[in-house]
Amino acid sequence: MSALAKDLLSPEQLALVRKRSDLRGAWLVLHAWGVIFGAMAVFVAFPNPLTYVLAVMVIGARQLGLAILMHDGAHGILTQNQKLNMFLNQWLCAYPMMAETGAYRRYHLKHHANTQQLEDPDLILSAPFPITRKSFRRKMVRDITGQTGYQQRKAQILNALGKADWTLEQRLKNYRDKLGRATLAQLAVFGVLAASGHWYLYFALWLVPFLTWHQAITRIRNIAEHAMVPDNNDPFGNARTTKANLLERALVAPYWVNYHVEHHLLMWVPCYNLPRTRAFLIANGYGERIETKSGYKEVIRMATSRPDTDDRPGSVIHNARRRRVSGVMSEGFEENQDAA
């Protein structure tokens, strides 16, 4: 336990917030999948454009939820039992999201160790801000129409297939090592839906949300967490907590992902204990220091405060667009040197 943690919370408070629960961790994973399949069932029962769009948004948000729960699993804090923690976050969270916990952990811990510093592998996601409203609209259009998701998955698959001059055996082995289990997870989702008699839902209400709404809210989440924070060298100010109402929690910020300062201060606290952590920090007099915004609209307004007269469509600031598109959640957003 770090000296900073001891300074922030009392021993009794620390004991409460660091407590992990096998039951609650497993319930959250079950909840995410239950909402996903439940949204699909609602569309099947009432097929119309409105229920389809709502299902895409709800499912895309729970897909982000699976990524958030994978994140907790990568920290080893989703459940108390570590075997259960690894099983849940690998097979029910990471692999279905085309990620891998070990690779994500190695990348993500670098972010924690170097938050908002030059060595931070996530700096690419926050450095270009503020941007213009026109630029933000273009980014959201690319996300909502699936362009960003397609390019990221394309880069990921090409990387897994290895170099063009490799033998077929080498390329298949590399693919199996990198994406074999993730591919099995995709086949499992397809198999479950096919067994229910609705195989088409894999494409219409698994892949479509994954490539569209999930991408858009992941971008919004990234902006909210670190873009334009007040002090890159202050642990209370190099990340941001964004207050979320019920609708935002359902469609943009599931499973307490919005409590980001609290997570950076005490990264071994499970997501389900972050609200209590914030309450303790405020009670202990740290409330004014925690960088906090009232909602995601406020964050987006701030992040798009650059005048439209400065807009330069097609220009790549900090090489950010190219590197972000070629990056994946499990391995970071650096330019992929292994892609064919």
What are 134-146's pLDDT values in tens digits? Answer: 999 999 999 999 9
Q: Do 175 and 189 touch, CB atoms closer than 8 A?
A: no
pLDDT in tens, 265-284: 999 999 999 999 999 999 99
Reduce the secondary structure of 79-118 to three states and give it as a string: CCCHHHHHHHHHHHHHHHHCCCHHHHHHHHHHHHHCCCCC
- Write out the two tokens for 175: 């693919």
Q: Provide, rounded to the nearest whole percent, the portion of the chain with pLDDT above 90.
A: 89
Q: What is the average per-residue pLDDT within 192-221?
A: 98
What's the pLDDT score for residue 329?
60
Q: Do 235 and 265 touch, CB atoms closer than 8 A?
A: yes
Q: What CA–CA distances, in Å, run from 83 to 11, 109, 185, 257, 324?
A: 27, 20, 19, 24, 33
pLDDT in tens, 86-120: 999 999 999 999 999 999 999 999 999 999 999 99
Q: What is the torsional sign of CA 294, 297, 303, 306?
A: negative
Of 16, 13, 26, 75, nearest to 268 by C-alpha is: 75
Return d(Cα 130, Cα 5) in angstroms, integer.
Answer: 32
Backbone phi and psi for residue 332, each to the nearest 5 degrees, phi listed first: 95, -175
Q: What is the average per-residue pLDDT within 23-35?
A: 98
pTM metric for this prediction? 0.92
Angle at 202 between CA 198 and CA 203, to 5 degrees: 115
What's the pLDDT score for residue 330?
59
Whether cis (ω within 30° of 0) applies to the bond prior to 130 is yes
> Does the structure show a pLDDT above 70 at 304?
yes
* DSSP three-state, residue 273: helix
Classify residue 162 as left (phi > 0), alpha (psi -120 to 50) or beta. Answer: left
What's the pLDDT score for residue 2?
43
